[in-house]
Chain A
Amino acid sequence: MFEPYLLNTWAAGTLVALVAGVVGVFVVLRGDSFLAHAIPHGSFAGAAVAYALGGSSLVGMGVSAALTGVAVFCLGRHGRKDAVIALLLSFLLASGALALSLSGGYANQAYALLFGQILSVSSSELLFMAILVCIVVLAMFLLARPLLLTSVMESAARAHGLHTHAIEFAFTMVLAATATASVPVVGVLLLFSLLVAPPAAACALCPTMSRAVALSCAFCLACMWASIALAVMTDLPIGFFVASISTLIYLGARLRLKYLFRISNENSR
């Protein structure tokens, strides 16, 4: 399980889990699940086009994830945001599938991008991912307080003189960077479960923001490590394990919450 050729996978998985844990808390707080679902689809299209043209897939992913963020931001300001996101993401999926089918590497490439492939991380990609993750964590550190205010009380944030649109846009770009760093490992369709379920569990259990971030990182790490181990042992796609384990974590948190409520009700009686 810890053979030399898997070391990059473990390192990449750890980076992805950490960044998803931090960013996911804000996704859950802001109710941005749909956006977090859409942006990785942009990176799918970008990686597919890059594959078809023979370019670097990480650069393709980064560019198209950022473009997706910009498009959602611009189009969503005037129309219905959720309808725009829904349309945009199916268009991106369709064009990604088209690029792969035209280039001939259809099934295997599409499969790896959609559901994740743990053996595909090279050392140079790992370095690129590490740099992206550092940028994301730094950006979240700077953004955290204004973003929290904007998410919870937008009018108060405006009254404080914050540029709420700029902050929301910056958060969209952070999501794009997260998607670029994570898609090669967990895949498009399942990055989302890592971004939503463990952070939602952490938010349900913790009273303060900083504790929620710490707990959510811990959940994501546990989920990721267990998934890599299981994927290596069973030869099934890693995305399946990430999704099931993070769902179990969420269900566990909900059950514990119910139990705590019951105890506090009995005590108050």
Chain B
Amino acid sequence: MIAFITELLAVNEVRTALAVGSAVAVATAAVGVLTVLRGQSFAGHALTDLAAVGGSAAFLLGVDQLWGFVASCVFSSLGMHAIGVRRMRGRDVATGVVLGAGMGLTALFLTLARKSRSAGSSSMAVLFGSLFSVDPGITPAVLALSAFCLVVLALIWRPAVFSVSSPELAFARGVPMGALDAIFMVVLGVAVALGAVSVGAVLSTALLIGPAACALRVARTTHAAMLLSCALGVVCTWAGTILSYESYNWLEGKALSPSFCIVALIFGLYLAISAACRLSALARKGQVAHV
């Protein structure tokens, strides 16, 4: 097993993929816990699709995609904050309209990019990504952005959880709700952009929501959920990357993309955990009935 891992780590692409993947997994999984708690999965997903706008624009201009992702995500998360997406009423439609407009622009940019240079399938990499083709040069930037997410999250953690669990009480105690929301949206934007680097713009939702949703079903406290979510995110990323690397040998020259492996593992994990929760709930009910 250890020999297997050292052999894997000898390959440059795998090393970069695992380093970038782990940093991204920790940051997105941590931000994901608050996202799921706040019921903002749709906003998180809309941001991933808007990340595609920035990514495709960067692709069209020939800039590194990371900066396209970050710029468009932070910009649109602040935009969502300004429209007031947090208000329940009309949130759904406002998110939907912004999302639709963003996808239209993505279609335009990708088409223009495909026409201006015969890019072939690399234009699809903006949408579906590949950890193995990450440029090693952006590793420091990814690490710095992940650290930024974690630090800001640690600073706003207590008031943020407070405002989720009882908004009225938090408001009465003078928690600055508007500022808190704006800061969280920026962190969410950065996390989604990081996820877009790792598994591609339109799949980044899974990395954000998946581990957090799993952890919240199992854990009893928010701290435990946070730790568990980060651990699950890293495990899924590693397992997915290694699976994808090995699949090249099994499928005779064709490979499962790392994005697919990671997303499929996360989805499978969620299914397994919710089935286990359901079973244990049924078992408990059965015991009560026997007594």
Contacts and interface: CB of A to CB of B under 8 A. Distances in A.
Interface of A: 28, 31-34, 36-37, 75, 78-80, 82-91, 93-95, 97-98, 101-102, 106-107, 110-111, 114-115, 187, 189-190, 192-193, 196-197, 200, 236-237, 239-244, 246-247, 250
Contacts of A107: 120-121, 123-124
Interface of A is mostly: helix
B93, B127, B208, B217: which has the most chain A beta carbons within 10 Å? Answer: B93
A127 B257 CA distance: 37
Interface string B254-271: 101101100110110011
Given A189-B103, A193-B103, A114 B127 contact: yes
Contact of A244 (B101, B121, B277): B101
B202 interface: yes
A192 B107 contact: no
A34 B92 contact: yes
B154 interface: no
A210 to B, nearest CB: 20
Given A86-B41, A87-B205, A91-B263, A197 B210 contact: no
11 contacts: A34-B41, A90-B267, A91-B267, A93-B202, A97-B260, A115-B107, A115-B110, A190-B103, A193-B103, A240-B105, A244-B101
A82 B260 contact: no
Contacts of A240: 104-105, 107-108, 111
Contact of B100 (A84, A91, A192): A192
Given A107-B123, A200-B97, A250-B97, 4 more contacts: A75-B274, A93-B128, A97-B127, A115-B110
Contacts of B266: 87, 91
Contact of B206 (A34, A90, A187, A193): A90
A239 B120 CA distance: 19
B213 interface: yes
